[in-house]
Amino acid sequence: MSAAQDFLKRRAVDIQAVGRYSLASRFDGLGKRRQFACRTSRISPFQMLVAAPVLGPVGERVISHFGQLGHLEGFISDFVAGGFLVELQATKSQRRQLANKLEWIEARASDPTIVDVREQERVVPEDPYTTLLFGDGTARTCFVIDVSPSGVAVSADIDVVIGTRLAVGRSVGHVVRHFDEGFAVKFDKLVDPDRIEQAIKPTSELKLAATVPQSGDAVCYLE
C-alpha cells in the first residue's frame, strides 16, 4: 500500500482550499523561489494531499500557504494523479493549532446558514486542470485557480506577457494581469454562469506522465 493510499484510510478532513506553494529547487529568472497555485483536497495535522501544476521528486521540500490554514511546510512523500502527498513538518503546538482549525472548518462546512458570497461570483472548478492554446498552436497544461463569467486565474510553469491572446480550454481571451502564482485572462465574451466549467474544459484528454520525477525534474503533462 502506498503512503497516499494509507492516508486516505486515516482520520483527516476533506477540504477544497486554494493556496500557493513553492518547491526548494524551482526558481525564477531573478533567483527567487517560484510560486504556483495549488489546492488541497484532504488534510490532517500530519499530512495533506495537494493538486498542483508542477511536481518535484520524493523528498522535495514544499512551502505552502492556504488562506484558511496559514503557512504549512513539509516534503513530498508520494504521488497521486495530478498532485502529491506532503508530510507536514510542525511542532506539537503547531499541529494542535492546525487540528483546531480543521475542527472549526468541519463545523463551518456543516452549517448551511453560512454562505461565502465570493464563491457565488468566482467558481473553483471540480477539475483544476485544463489547456492553454496559443496563437502559434502551442498547447500547455495549466492549473485553474478560479473562474468567473468574465475571466479566469491560472497557474502554469510558463511566462506570458500582458496582452497575449490565448484560449483557456474552449474560451478565448487575453492576459490582463500577473500575480505571484500565475496570471489572469479576460474572456472576449462573458460565459454563461451555468456553463462555466464546460467553457474551460481541456480541448483534449490530458494524461499525467508515467515517469516518477528525479531530483531537479518536474512532472509534465502530456496530451
What number does CATH give the domain 121-210? 2.40.10
Look up residue 76 and give its amino acid.
Answer: I
Question: For residue 52, what pLDDT is reported?
Answer: 92
pTM of the model: 0.65
Domains 3-109 and 121-210 agree in fold: yes
Residues 6+ positions from 60 with CB-CB distance below 8 Å: 23, 24, 25, 75, 76
Question: For residue 106, what pLDDT is reported?
Answer: 77
Residues 6+ positions from 179 with CB-CB distance below 8 Å: 153
Q: Which one, of 45, 189, 179, lies nearest residue 168 by Cα? A: 189
CATH fold for the domain made of 3-109: Thrombin, subunit H (2.40.10)
Coil, strand or helix at 57: coil
User: Domain segments of the chain: what residues?
Assistant: 3-109, 121-210
β-pair partners for 83: 51, 80
Look up residue 221 and give its amino acid.
Answer: Y
User: Taken in order 44, 46, 52, 58, is the CA torsion positive or negative?
Assistant: negative
CA dihedral (70, 71, 76, 79) in degrees, to 10, reads: 20
User: Which CA distances in Å does 202 have to 128, 140, 175?
Assistant: 10, 10, 18
Query: CA-CA distance, 54 to 156, in Å (whole number)?
Result: 8
Q: Which one, of 75, 79, 78, 80, lies nearest residue 59 by Cα? A: 75
pLDDT tens per residue across all 223 residues of the chain: 788 888 888 888 888 888 899 998 888 877 888 899 999 989 999 999 999 999 999 999 999 998 778 899 999 999 998 899 999 999 998 998 899 888 887 776 665 554 444 443 567 788 888 999 998 888 988 999 888 899 999 998 888 999 999 999 989 999 999 988 899 999 999 988 888 888 898 865 443 332 233 333 333 332 3
Terminal-to-terminal C-alpha distance of the chain: 29
